[in-house]
Amino acid sequence: MSKRPVVLVVMDGIGISDNTLGNAVKNAYKPTLDELWETCPHTQLRAHGLAVGLPTDGDMGNSEVGHNALGCGQIYSQGAKLVNESIESGDMFETETWHALVDNCKNGVMHFLGLLSDGNVHSHIDHLKALLKEAKKDGVKEVRIHALLDGRDVPETSALLYVEDIEHYMAELNDDTFHACIASGGGRMNITMDRYEANWPMVEKGWHTHVLGEGRTFASAAEAIETYRKESGVVDQDLPPFVIAKDGKPVGTINDGDSVILFNFRGDRAQEISLAFDRDDFDKFDRVRRPKVMYAGMLQYDADLNIPNNFLTYPPKIKYTLSEQLVKHHIRQYAISETQKYGHVTYFWNGNRSEKFDEKLEDFVEIKSDVVPFEQRPWMKAAEITDILTAAIESGNYDFLRTNFPNGDMVGHTGDYEATKIGVEAVDLVLKRIKKSVDAVNGIMLVTADHGNADEMYEKPKKEGAPLKAKTSHTLNKVPFIVYGADVELKDDENLGLSNVAATVADLLEIEPDEHWNESIIKK
């Protein structure tokens, strides 16, 4: 093989399944992807569970751990697994940060803010229970929970199950010395959990709800959920904000002398609310009142940018990334996506590092995402990304180019099957254009995905004839890996995963894979 430019296309959320019901990938019109699969060397990769550093093979993958694995060629303990280990060993509660949080609110309140579910993508309810138990043990007297409702990584109308679970747990802990209750909440795609600065008003709405206690009031979280469902039929992730009040007053505003812990472990949707608490020079919206609190994250969500200042569990220290190895060999690199996944082809790809390894050898391009419901624009910014990517390919200025098309994931998360099919078809259209540009420079194109999503758009019915319910979470399915433009033979190993891609890229660029990486997918 002569040295030729390599283009890696990540079709976010496009997994492999033989099932036809609700399979927006299999049922989409995608002649280019089908032709590549039929005529090019291809295999399937594991993109969930142990293959990407998660606790068990029952844990669905996600874009963050997927791009970590793609970009570093190794498997690191990730998010939930790191937190599990820290809680089980007790290390979390021996940190200076935990002791300082407890001491800070001796005469105030400890607040826990985060996604209330067992989806294990952003958070886990068991982590919250461990924090509650330890807070009581260490003498905290008052605790308030600000519950973001999921319905995205778990069934779309399951919020009441988690609310009942945590309220039962708190009732067992509550006594004359300790009192915990839910203070506020709302759907994760309505308030607080924006990412990549795509929609700061979401975060502002969350600030007013959690911190200031402003908004529609209810006697309980269950009452809020049931009322909103009856009024609008909206699913959990889109539920409007609510504030729990007693005797006409919010039960859990955040005030001077309180401590606040964001118990999400995944970083992308945790950074903006963290900045609102941490930064003196914050200017994204008017905070109205900024309480003097000690704030901490479950992890540090961005070590380079120090977000947040305080955290309970250290993230994996990812070394020996593909980008770093390519820089050593003076390989010119290019990364592009729209806002929703820009951080994945840059920050997560480079091992949770915001900065480049070499300013001259790495170019990053962000296309601003539309701030609209994704089912209304299922094509998203695929065409705009491709306009610029194809020009970069044909420029001859780069040896390795990577991109992410978010459609299969972001539209898939809406639960809209027809829109998701259109999203998949939009990606197929641009694959044809990229293929043409790759041909023009005698290049090589790799096509893969970071996890599944669009491949299962309905929950499996519990009994025959039951009405179909939308599935909005990721899947446990494998993802495709296709090599176009290179005469190679690929391994067909059940254990191949996303972490095997880095060495494969190195092989195609004719450089030595790093000794720490997992093996190449190419047979030697």
Dist. CA 12–CA 66, nearest whole Å: 10
Ranges of H-type helices in 270-412: 271-278, 322-328, 339-343, 382-395, 407-410
**Token pair of 457 as six digits:** 């758009």
Q: Which of 103, 270, 107, 249 is nearest to 184 (CA)?
A: 249
**What is the helix (H) or strand (E) element at residue 87, kind and residue range?**
helix 79-89
**What is the helix (H) or strand (E) element at residue 422, kind and residue range?**
helix 417-440
Virtual CA dihedral for 297, 302, 303, 309, nearest 10 degrees? -40
Decide: 58 and 501 in contact? Cβ < 8 Å. Answer: no
Dist. CA 180–CA 293, nearest whole Å: 18
The secondary structure of residue 347, as a DSSP letter, is I
Ranges of H-type helices in 138-281: 159-173, 200-210, 221-232, 271-278
**Token pair of 391 as six digits:** 């020009």
Q: Does the annotation mark 63 as catalytic?
A: yes
Dist. CA 263–CA 147, nearest whole Å: 10
Beta 400-405 vs 333-338: how paired, if at all?
parallel
Residue 77: partners with Cβ closer than 8 Å, 6 or more residues away: 53, 85, 316
Strand runs (DSSP E) across 267-357, as ranges?
294-299, 311-313, 333-338
Beta 294-299 vs 444-448: how paired, if at all?
unpaired
SS3 80: helix
Beta 479-484 vs 444-448: how paired, if at all?
antiparallel
Among 63, 117, 274, 337, the one annotated catalytic? 63
SS3 412: helix
Dist. CA 432–CA 434, nearest whole Å: 6
Residue type, 50: L
**Token pair of 207 as six digits:** 């600030």
Q: Which of 64, 34, 35 is nearest to 48 (CA)?
A: 64
Residues identified as active-site? 63
